[in-house]
Chains A and B, each alone.
Chain A
Amino acid sequence: MSDLMKVSSNPHIRSKVTTSNIMLAVVIALLPAAGFGIYNFGLDALILILITVAACVLTEFVYEKAMHKKVTIGDFSAVVTGLLLALNLPSSAPWWIGVVGGIFAILVVKMLFGGLGQNFMNPALGARCFLLISYTSIMCNFDCDAYTGATPLASLKAGESVNILDMVLGKTGGTIGETSMIAIVIGACFLILLGVIDLKISGSYIISFIIFLILFGGHGFDPAFIAAHLAGGGLMLGAFFMATDYVTRPVTKKGQYLYGVILGLLTGIFRIFGPSAEGVSYAIILGNLLVPLIEKVTMPRAFGKGGERA
């Protein structure tokens, strides 16, 4: 018998799921969307994705080295941030946009607030909004070799007709990763099957958004209009990959439904009544800010104190 035994408090077994497993699963789930973006927009997209991811990982590494902290890039969370941010950039953006965005996301939004788990705002979205405000013309320039002119959502807002099949497949202009509804949903299904995300937030988000469209969209119950809104812009990417970001969504069950509904309403308001065709990024960022409040009002009732369910 060894002289020294390990002693610890119960439980003495642990599940195999780790933070890096989860982050890696998210990276894999984003690959269909990224792959389609590269297919759709060409080499520019690939290069921008690589630069942005590298910028994020490097920023985290350098910051932690400089601060004499434990280097945590092995948990893949910076890769997820970089990938998400890149998928939210137009392929026509110059390389330094990825660098500036990556540094802002990791340094300002994540590390300065205490690193993984402490940021109150999704780093990728925070950086995207920062870039949108700072470099509006670059961020809104969706002209590239394959597509010119307005994105389908902008056309829709202008009252023009759009090709819904193209939008579902993703053969339209837009940011690198947002165009293909199919690719995004494939990735989302993968995460749902693995149990990494569930439909509480994504489902309530999408459903409340649809209801908002029916009530205030000006088209009544028009399936084509609704489908175009669902497939267009960043809704799918936002609903499945950014609204579900663990760190910045409520942890309580009821809170997650409420959060989804709030996101749906905000997205609807921004898209229908706002000046821009887009609204997902700002909706989620605003939603992030409401999370502490949402959690406070949705703390569950303990077992035996009412509200039982088998």
Chain B
Amino acid sequence: MAKLTFAGGIHPDDGKDLSKDKPIREVLPQGDLVYPLSQHIGAPAQPIVKKGDRVLTGQKIAEAGGFVSAPIYATVSGTVKAIEPRRVVTGDNVMSIVIENDELYEEIDWPEVPPFEELTREDKIQMIREAGIVGMGGAGFPTAVKLSPKEPEKIEYVIVNCAECEPYLTSDYRKMLEEPERLIGGLKVALSLFENARGILAVEDNKPDCIAKLKRLTRDENKITVKALKTKYPQGSERQLIYATTGRAIHSAMLPADAGCVVNNVDTVIAIYNAVMEGRPLMYRIVTVTGDAIVNPQNFKVRIGTNYHELIDEAGGFIEPPVKIVSGGPMMGFGIFDLDVPTTKTSSALLCMTRDQVSAMEPTACINCGKCVEVCPGRVVPRKLADYAEHYDEEAFVKNNGMECCECGCCSYVCPAKRPLTQVIKSMRKMQLAKKKK
């Protein structure tokens, strides 16, 4: 059988060897914890604590600010020090709750969880909403909204995105190896919401140990299949993943539900399990701290709100000063200029590099080689779109499917003239999206 995949894509050096064999280790934060009120797509959360309040681990400190929003929980015990704008990975200043950690890690009295069988569909979704779960693959879309499509009976597949196609990231890999029961349990919870759905665990075939383990554990689950995908970036891009696993293709204006699919990432599915089966809100995430500048690359279980500096220290610090630090993977992550930012629900990695390949190679003239067209998973013509964007030709940009770009970065990666194609297209898309909102 042909391998499950999509057309286009690239094969960058994956750099996963640095951290893939390091078991997940918990980091106990020492300094202040910062909780940006916007760490998800949608309305910012509303703080329900005020300066000077004492909070406990697991206590809700901000309420969802609307339907598409998510609450936020304290991940340590301590005192609310301030509610003020703080810098986040994108470089923006976002209103945040700052908690002074008393290092006691005192927890709330966890409420009783009703037996799973007694829960209705609405109960479960409410629990997921209350737990503050958002898509932890990077987008941060509130999971409860994702799990409430208009016609739940039309959902045929619940896909767990175990591709982890971004180079250097090993957090999902470790989770699959270390907590596969929770992953499968979370998938079962999600499947219980959709009567006609089957579960798919979609794993890239560079993780044969995960595939074997998940296959063994799901042997008796007749509604769950493990599917091996060809290892290729961006295999874990939602639309490409749906296509690879089900053969259904949707364009950018469609939702996965239009193809009868719901897609969630590994960490998110485990968070669903924790919320519904154990009544725990989203308080932790796995962060891979890696790169050639790091003494001891690791996979950390991090309390949300922990300062990035602490993660670097936990990983042994720097071998030599890094030139570039990326929050997230090298293909879609944010280059940051300051480590003094908090871990959020969507922080997947901290990649510290001693060499910056981008500034090392100056852009030169496009030679029309067509490599960007070959690799584009959205099947647009990046070379032309970048041209239109540079000349601010909005009409041509939109007409030639500029909005179909998923900003995966393949075109910039592959360009022999080192042109910042993704960047130019991305800026134009942002402007167009902003216009639409008006």
Contacts and interface: CB of A to CB of B under 8 A. Distances in A.
Contact of A251 (B359, B365, B368): B368
A304 interface: yes
Interface in B212-248: 239-240, 243-244, 247
A309 interface: yes
Nearest to A309: B7
Given A12-B353, A251-B370, A302 B322 contact: no
B322 A1 contact: yes
Interface stretch (B71-79, B80-88, B153-161, B323-331): B323-331
Interface string A5-23: 1111111111101110110
Nearest to B352: A1
Interface string B288-329: 000000000000000000000000000000100111111000
A249 B369 CA distance: 9
Contact of A72 (B2, B339, B364): B364
B335 interface: yes
A77 B364 CA distance: 13
Given A10-B331, A22-B369, A304-B404, A310 B254 contact: no
Contacts of B331: 10-13
B335 A7 contact: yes
Contacts of A14: 357-358, 361, 412-413, 415, 418
B379 interface: yes
Interface residues of A, number: 45
B41 to A, nearest CB: 18
B293 to A, nearest CB: 9
Given A7-B335, A11-B331, A252 B416 contact: no
Interface string A245-259: 011110111001000
A159 B251 CA distance: 58
B432 interface: no
B378 interface: yes
Given A10-B334, A116-B367, A251-B383, A2 B322 contact: yes
A133 B128 CA distance: 77
B336 to A, nearest CB: 7
A304 B239 contact: yes
Interface stretch (B43-51, B199-207, B420-428): B420-428
Contacts of A251: 368, 370, 373, 381, 383-384
Interface in B325-371: 325-326, 330-339, 351, 353, 356-359, 361, 364-371
Interface in B1-42: 2, 5-7, 10, 12-13
Contacts of A247: 367-368
Given A18-B418, A251-B381, A300-B379, A11 B330 contact: yes
Interface string A238-249: 000000001111
Given A247-B367, A299-B381, A302-B378, A12 B252 contact: no
Contacts, number: 185
Given A7-B337, A303-B378, A303-B404, A12 B365 contact: no
B370 A5 contact: no
Interface string A97-137: 00000000000000000011110000000000000000000
Interface in A228-280: 246-249, 251-253, 256
A290 to B, nearest CB: 15
Nearest to A4: B337
Given A2-B321, A117-B368, A304-B251, A10 B333 contact: yes
A248 B356 CA distance: 33
| Chain A interface, >50% SS class | loop
B140 interface: no
B249 to A, nearest CB: 4
Residue of A14, A18, A309 with highest tally of chain B CB at under 10 A: A14
A145 interface: no
Nearest to B240: A303
Name, among A247, A248, A249, A305, the residue most crowded by chain B CB atoms within 10 Å (CB to CB).
A305
A68 interface: no
Interface residues of B, number: 77
B380 A310 contact: no
B401 interface: yes
Contacts of B243: 303, 308, 310
Nearest to B404: A302
Given A9-B420, A14-B361, A301 B367 contact: no
Contacts of A44: none
B377 A12 contact: no
Contacts of A299: 381, 400
A129 to B, nearest CB: 21
Nearest to A291: B368
Contacts of B145: none
Interface string B240-283: 10011001011110100000000000000000000000000000
Contacts of B58: none
B186 interface: no
B323 A2 contact: yes
26 contacts: A5-B335, A6-B323, A8-B356, A8-B423, A10-B332, A10-B333, A11-B409, A11-B412, A12-B324, A12-B356, A12-B357, A12-B358, A14-B415, A17-B371, A18-B418, A22-B369, A115-B365, A118-B365, A251-B373, A299-B400, A302-B380, A302-B401, A303-B379, A304-B249, A305-B251, A305-B401
Q: Which 10 A-B pairs have the closest CB atoms?
A: A304-B251, A11-B409, A9-B423, A302-B404, A302-B401, A117-B365, A7-B335, A6-B356, A2-B321, A12-B330
Given A6-B324, A251-B370, 18 more contacts: A5-B335, A6-B323, A7-B336, A10-B331, A10-B422, A10-B423, A13-B331, A17-B416, A22-B367, A72-B365, A116-B365, A246-B367, A246-B368, A251-B383, A302-B379, A303-B377, A305-B404, A308-B243
Interface of A: 1-2, 4-15, 17-19, 21-22, 72, 75, 77, 115-118, 246-249, 251-253, 256, 295, 299-305, 308-310
